[in-house]
Structure 1
């Protein structure tokens, strides 16, 4: 689990600044997935497809109270401050609507479909993808009955520029909108709270690039962004009504335009109750069904306690659902008891563990040596040590299953168990004498130690002599330092996409033009450098056709695997359980493998 973002040096090319900002954003999002990356438990390495919808019968009736239980803590409900993916998912399905959203579905293959939410459709770009327009639906209202306007959207996004007041959320708007920059790289616009002579000039600059004409909002971008309509599905692009904005004091303030509103002020570390927003109209919303009349959100409860309470199915738990993944030790019991399994779901989270060979190490100077490590890696052993099929699935690619760019290519024909004999041949072709010393660093935890140790046997059999170095504190900051390149040959890491495109994965990790500097590797821990890859990233990022663009990302990923740029290990999974009166339980893999609250219901 990444705990901090890498710092990248300023770039002259605007597009590279975009990728850098996206990289920092994803680190923030992944950091919020506390329930998804916990290592622990025992089990087998079965890579079966997750059961993303529970076996209980569906209901399509409104009513009842859903109890949502979570460890938390929620750090903010302010749209422009939300960073954790589970918080973003809850907000986006209950009280916060954005221009676009991902369509709920019990079929993971359909969960990446982007649709209009506040907007009538998924947006219209100009020919060169430097401007996007969205027209708002009629009849969408705030909780006080006033209409949600184009100006509300414009104002909400403007708050991101107030970086000294509004902190913690996505800063994509700063990266992609064509607001001019000052010599120090900061935008000339300082947000809606700025005062003084320069504030007026900054506002004028912002008004030119985020413009309203009636109910249509048009964004002018600093460079082509082909999936901008997916970027705006994030909370940071949500509307805020100016008169309801509490500024720096609005961390937990909620002014709803969705199906639910806060019944009383949010209590940090305890939670709050959500009741129906009487001004929400189902006819204006093709995303949320909003079946429960009320959602009682309780945070501050340990995940094991939550799971045990719901498994017991007592009077206070029959209408409850866990928003955090059950601990791996409990998961095995849940999936083997039919009465529990039928009210549980297992879903991929999009968070992928991987290894980055250090290309500055003499060991990995030749591609055959990197290929040998990939071929010698036993992913099934790694997953078994994590806790088995409910905690992860072996994968060779960083692109999660739910994304359109996902592929099942195994260009090195390594398989999930590895092939020691072939690895030895490749090491010979690389001109290395056996055994080959291998210094591997990883983020330590009790089960991480176990999982990494599970890889040692395969590597040893293939002719490597591995030495594992566990680090606990400031892991990503440590391996992001230049000195780390001299100390280690292989780096463990993980990554998750910010939205359903490989554009938030491959450029962030393997575009050396934005990552590698005198200060360190950025997120490119293995110092993978390829001018051809960098150029291809720019070309793909400017493709207008989504299908062709994601196919191109998949093809680029295969090339990266062939070059040994990285070695995929496992895509993490989460298991959720609900009480016996909960219906329509499912999980959405595109928005983080979280409980799908757009469709959940309570039996009456």
Structure 2
């Protein structure tokens, strides 16, 4: 899951820990005529990238939309107990589903009385249509649908509902079937954690075919949750009001209490401005929470102030930040090894805010993910870096120095400082570094196989509680195509690792799956497919009239809107 960074998240996308999602909700109510006094405001620096459920792939957006507007077959409850919040419970389904054929087949029955915002009933066919949209990758870009497209038991190619021939559509209709209210999915290989995929992402959400306008619906919401759109501007934000067609009797309060009468989103204000208002508790910020941007490091000394410390929450995130050597550019493994040896993680962390902002990472897999083990290549490394050892590695390999490299990263004030902090160690080792900060075009650039950066920044959190959604999602070479490398930003390719990913994908149990993934991670460490940096710590401050504020595994450590409320 992409991480919410200068542009995103997750990141994800995020993007996680139990590793999923979460978000605010709205209980029954009186439609849009409620008093504006009971209004929660959510402010963010950046607009939301996608609102189309099949395209959402950012942790906080998944969480927010789950609690507010989009229900799923299964969702993760809001709880500060990770064992509770990481276990999916029925949402639009009547139960947790049943599997057959060694987890190659899964069936779910849709609840009675669940409706879209126009009053029409949510049907099995809506779920089948939603699943089919994941295959329209040319039209609906950016989502996590690759999980489904790789697994579904199709006989041939299926281009999605917009371009399918009758024969292709018939093929899909054999793999995803409806029998009354029961939907059945048939997969080519076992998918034991399919319920976690459903609860953690929106890719399996229902979608009403008559509402569908393809990519034109990217900033449109057709709600089946407790809120619906009143007004919306993709760049500025908008207002959600109560959805009259939502029946709280069909829902679970651990998923959505939907306490505020309205939820207002505001985009475009700098994090420093947002937090200055929150720290001073200005009247226009008292019913406000922040989306995406955590407390900036310059505000850390003020976290103990009276009137602030009781509104402050700190939590370790499900995300790992890492460096990615570009295998097309940095072909010599000795150069990659020297780069890893010279990387000063301590200086990177200090430049980003220190121990209050990060803890060092020893794998691209977050320790909260089941199956995590430290990568042997990074378990006992020198976090200060060892330029002398790196210099010797380059010399022994006969590499001419200074060796020029370009470091590309998503521009922000903090990342500018962190990038600069790496230069000293790298140049002491014999590299000549050019910094290449990019803005909103960051991911569109590094996802091109032709990208000329030598090393890049990445941030990722598991899509659900499985390392399969990290190592395989990031480093399987078969996602590299002519015009995109997917999430394999460094164009990493090792047939032995791909084989281990296949063995993991064909495992009938998560325990067996993890064994193969750990083997793959160890090989990637030897290849220097990535260099782990740190695990971000999220620091949040809320307005003084915001109540029920918690962060959970279900919300990817962002504010969980399931229980949140405001007071007059």
- Matches of 2:38 and 2:299, distance apart in 1: 28
RMSD: 4.0
| Corresponding residue number in structure 2 for 1:512 | 477
Mapped contact 2:500–2:516 kept (Cα < 8 A)? no
Mapped contact 1:253–1:265 kept (Cα < 8 A)? no
Q: Deviations over 1:431-455 (max 9, x none)?
A: 3479964443222545434323323
Alpha-carbon distance change, 526 to 100 in structure 1, aligned in 2, over 3 angstroms: same
Alpha-carbon distance change, 410 to 280 in structure 1, aligned in 2, over 3 angstroms: farther
Mapped contact 1:397–1:568 kept (Cα < 8 A)? yes
- Matches of 1:492 and 1:451, distance apart in 2: 11
Structure 1, unaligned runs of 5 or more: 1-25, 39-59
- Matches of 1:522 and 1:249, distance apart in 2: 23
Mapped contact 1:101–1:114 kept (Cα < 8 A)? yes
Alpha-carbon distance change, 276 to 179 in structure 1, aligned in 2, over 3 angstroms: same
Structure 2, unaligned runs of 5 or more: 12-26, 30-36
1:539 to 500, 503, 512: 503
Aligned residues: 538
User: Is 1:471 equivalent to 2:446 in the alignment?
Assistant: no
- Output aligned runs, 1:97-496, within 5 Å: 97-108=71-82, 111-143=85-117, 146-161=120-135, 166=140, 169-172=143-146, 173-182=148-157, 187=158, 190-191=160-161, 199-233=165-199, 234-242=201-209, 244-245=211-212, 250-262=217-229, 264-268=230-234, 269-275=236-242, 277=244, 279-282=246-249, 284-285=251-252, 287-302=254-269, 303-326=271-294, 328-357=296-325, 364-365=332-333, 373-408=339-374, 411-415=377-381, 417-418=383-384, 420=386, 423=389, 427=393, 431-432=396-397, 437-444=402-409, 445=411, 446-459=413-426, 464-473=429-438, 488=454, 490-496=455-461
Q: TM-score when scaled to structure 1?
A: 0.75
Q: Secondary structure at the match of 1:218?
A: strand
- Matches of 1:520 and 1:200, distance apart in 2: 29
Mapped contact 2:177–2:184 kept (Cα < 8 A)? yes
- Matches of 2:245 and 2:485, distance apart in 1: 51
Q: Deviations over 1:348-399 (max 9, x none)?
A: 4444332234667899445xx7555434433121111122334433212111
Which shows bigger deviation, 408-417 or 231-240? 408-417
Mapped contact 1:322–1:578 kept (Cα < 8 A)? yes
Alpha-carbon distance change, 584 to 543 in structure 1, aligned in 2, over 3 angstroms: farther
Q: TM-score when scaled to structure 2?
A: 0.80
Alpha-carbon distance change, 132 to 595 in structure 1, aligned in 2, over 3 angstroms: same
| Corresponding residue number in structure 2 for 1:583 | 547
Q: Secondary structure at the match of 2:259?
A: coil
CA positional deviation for 1:503:
1.6
Mapped contact 2:316–2:537 kept (Cα < 8 A)? yes
Which shows bigger deviation, 239-248 or 211-220? 239-248
